[in-house]
Amino acid sequence: MDIETANALTTFTTRYCDAWQEKHGTWPQSAELYGVPSPCIISSLNESVIWQPKPNTGEQNVNAVERAMDLVVQSALHAFYTTQFAGDMTAHFNGVALTLLQTWSEDDLQRVQENLIGHLVTQKRLKLSPTLFIATLDSELDVISVCNLSGEVIKETIGTRNRDVLAPSLADFLTRLEPLL
């Protein structure tokens, strides 16, 4: 596993949870995840869940993506998707608001891998180099991804060649993220 990426992710998650604690006096809450089982859930109330990150003690890889697409996924992406279970977290990167995607449970990790496979199939069909998404933006057409060839974090418009490099690595990107509450 890519320890640098895993450490950068857990450090950002700690900053996010600390900011939430400071602002709201509680662990993070999510209405979107209400009713969805997870080891992260502390309690449920009024159609939202209070959650805290938990280490993923299961498989530490996204090998299903590798097998389905016959490609080797960057080690940083294995670490990103399997270091922990957590709710999605909102953040800023150089003034751009985004939602950092996280896996919520073992079942969610399987769903995420299926979505990554679908994303890669579309790219292959369009003859685009492979990327794996890590965050969403307000625009439904744009996502933050990791280029599987270079390891760079990019902003891309889905289904096009429009790609802007944001950071040289996933660890660098995560280190520069600021929580947005």
pLDDT digits (tens, 9 = 90+) for 23-36: 999 999 999 999 99
Q: Which CATH superfamily is domain 3-179 in?
A: Syd protein (3.40.1580.20)
Say how far apart CA 58 and CA 38 lie, in whole Å.
13
Least Cα distance to 154 among 167, 141, 172, 138 occurs for 167
pLDDT digits (tens, 9 = 90+) for 14-68: 999 999 999 999 999 999 999 999 999 999 988 999 999 999 988 778 999 999 9
What would the two tokens of residue 72 be? Answer: 């080797």
Q: Indicate yes or no: pTM above 0.85.
A: yes
Give the model confidence (pLDDT) of 85-109 as tens digits: 999 999 999 999 999 999 999 999 9
Cβ-based neighbour number of residue 63 at 10 Å: 12
What are the domain boundaries of the chain?
3-179
- What pLDDT score was predicted for residue 128? 93
- Return d(Cα 64, Cα 18) in angstroms, integer: 34
Contact by Cβ (8 Å): 142, 156: yes
Distance (Å, rounded) from C-alpha 120 to C-alpha 129?
9
Check whether 10 has a pLDDT greater than 90: yes
